[in-house]
Amino acid sequence: MNSRQLKYFKTIVDEGNITHAAEKLHMAQPPLSQQLKKLEEELGTTLIKRKNEWSITETGRLLYQHAKRILHEEEYIIQEIKDIEGGLKGTLSIGVSSSCAKFLPKIISAYREKYPNVFIRVYKGDSSYLESLLVDEKVELALMLLPTNLTPYEVKKFNPEPFLVVMPSTWYETLNKDSITLKEANEYPILMLGSMEGYSIHENILNFFSLFQLVPNIVLECKDIFSILNFVSEEIGIAILPQSEIYEIFSNKVKAIEIEDLTQFVEPSVVSLKYSHQSKAARFFLNMMDLIMFEEKQEEV
């Protein structure tokens, strides 16, 4: 059995009889009938009843479903190869949150090198904003923290990120150590990342304190991480944030240190709609991301 036979069989079923199928395939009817008979002999079954009333058998329906899938996959493979050889074109819209921003330049650089004719549009915002862009299909992919409800999404995860305490550099100098307990952190005024619908970072941080029977010393709450880091740099307080949310631009004014008794992590991910048609540009981007992540893991080993 080969793809040519599957194509003949699928066309016969689609057209409803051998005569119309032969016309569609631009061939004579007798050779097409012979191909069908040969296929049935090879499989040891009757695929189509041709006496009295023409009808497809149960095994014929099963083969038809497989034939559709196999022929579609062959067309997809051929088209992907043509896209690569001919140069992939189009527009790829991507969303990225600050928690995943550091992953994007390396992936885009490698992607642009291989597919220079793809125009890339990047949207920046918090994870709840990016989720709305996904739902409205304004972006195909979003690099963001995991939503609480994963039902409508396909997800590829990056390495987990720890939570760190971020404090003014001058405060760190007086602390005189490279890590801190949650109880020690609570002796400082805390600048809290605000709650966002569908995301659990705010609740997670509150739960950290609850686990140690502590009431967090929160003096300010804000949903914008950049603003929180700016407040920290101005010595208003400390913050507890995922590692990847800490901007290097503040490196001279703030210091990020480990929390000794905290083992929870967040999971930056690439999220896409599960049932939405995905462009080739998006699929190739995900393939490029997989390749880079694999290479990074190999380097770690």
Q: What is the pLDDT of residue 74?
A: 82
Beta partners for residue 120, in sequence order: 92
Q: What is the pTM of this model?
A: 0.55
Residue closest to 269 by CA, chosen among 291, 248, 293? 293
Q: pLDDT at residue 195 above 80?
A: no
Listed in order, the ranges of the chain carrying CATH 3.40.190.10 are 90-159+267-300, 162-265
| 9-64 confidence digits (pLDDT tens) | 899 888 888 888 888 888 898 888 898 889 889 989 888 887 777 788 899 899 99
Q: What is the pLDDT of residue 219?
A: 96
Higher pLDDT, 230 or 77: 230
Q: What is the pLDDT of residue 1?
A: 80
Q: What is the pLDDT of residue 187?
A: 95
Q: pLDDT at residue 76 above 90?
A: no
Residue 155 phi, psi (nearest 5): -135, 135
Q: What is the pLDDT of residue 190?
A: 96
DSSP assignment of 190-238: EEEEPP-TT--HHHHHHHHHHHTT----EEEEES-HHHHHHHHHTTS-B
Listed in order, the ranges of the chain carrying CATH 1.10.10.10 are 3-86
Q: What is the pLDDT of residue 235?
A: 96
Superfamily of domain 90-159+267-300: Periplasmic binding protein-like II (3.40.190.10)
Q: Which fold has domain 3-86?
A: Arc Repressor Mutant, subunit A (1.10.10)
Cα pseudo-dihedral 154, 160, 165, 168, rounded to 10: -80
Please state the rounded mean pLDDT for residues 223-232: 89
Task: Determine whether domain 162-265 maps to CATH 3.40.190.10.
Answer: yes
Q: What confidence tier does 105 reach under pLDDT thresholds 50, 70, 90?
A: confident
Please state the rounded mean pLDDT for residues 104-116: 89
Please answer whether residues 256 and 226 qualify as being in contact, where contact means their C-beta atoms are separated by less than 8 angstroms: no
Q: What is the pLDDT of residue 77?
A: 74
Q: What is the pLDDT of residue 84?
A: 60
Please answer whether residues 232 and 239 qualify as being in contact, where contact means their C-beta atoms are separated by less than 8 angstroms: yes
Residue closest to 54 by CA, chosen among 15, 5, 26, 24? 15
How far is the C-alpha of 257 from the C-alpha of 179, rounded, in Å? Answer: 5
